[in-house]
Structure 1
Amino acid sequence: MSDTTVNVRYMVDDVEAAIKWYVDHLGFSLLSSYAPAFADVRRGQLRLLLSGPTSSAGRPMPDGEKPQPGGWNRIHLIVEDLAAEVARLKAAGVEFRNDIVTGPGGSQILAIDPSGNFVELFQPARH
């Protein structure tokens, strides 16, 4: 993918239904599917990550709260070395919502901006 691709993650209740809706109704094309956990679709430079309840992004936070559709949407930034980036940001006082979690597609963590919005830092799995 080019550097101009914008990645956005949406938590969804049903990955297969979400794929169908975005492809059929909004003209997205399917890039990959690991349903029921995860799929990604594309429209132009937007890559939409559809994460179901069984995806790594759907895991409960340390306090037990579970990500759900609506309130967990966030921008998704790809980094080369997630552990190093987390260490750098923690040293700078950045707060995180969770610890690094790893799934089939890679590793991720949620940083919290000053207003309480989440920014997902993601390191793709090496294939």
Structure 2
Amino acid sequence: MAKVLGLGGVFFKAPDPQALIAWYNQHLGTEMNEWGAQFPIQQLPAGAYGVFSPFKESTDYFAPSTQNYMINLVVDDVDGCLARVRAAGAVVMPDIETSEYGTFGWFIDPAGNKIELWQPPAV
């Protein structure tokens, strides 16, 4: 049977794509170019996975962003990444959540996108 195998990418509009690329490269260590950044599955920590999930239109989970989406990035250190983007002027949400799924933190990038950082639990 033909079926989806995984998340192939996240594509979104930005007022100044080149500036946003430079910001992510500098403050979160991506190696993004005009085509984006590639994250080989092999470099993800054990237990990491992609999620494709619709939310109700009434959700406030993406707030304070006004976008209709939120981007989740797998990271190796939520606290360290949030410190880096805070120092770069990003709005960082005050709460960090830890559960059986790992640790989560959030910030708003320079283009107004809410970004969820996910550090999977150690396996």
TM-score range, shorter chain: 0.3 to 0.5
Structure with more contact order per residue of length (Cα contacts < 8 Å, sep ≥ 6): 2
TM-score (normalizing by structure 1): 0.46
TM-score (normalizing by structure 2): 0.47
- In terms of fraction of residues, the more strand-rich structure is 1
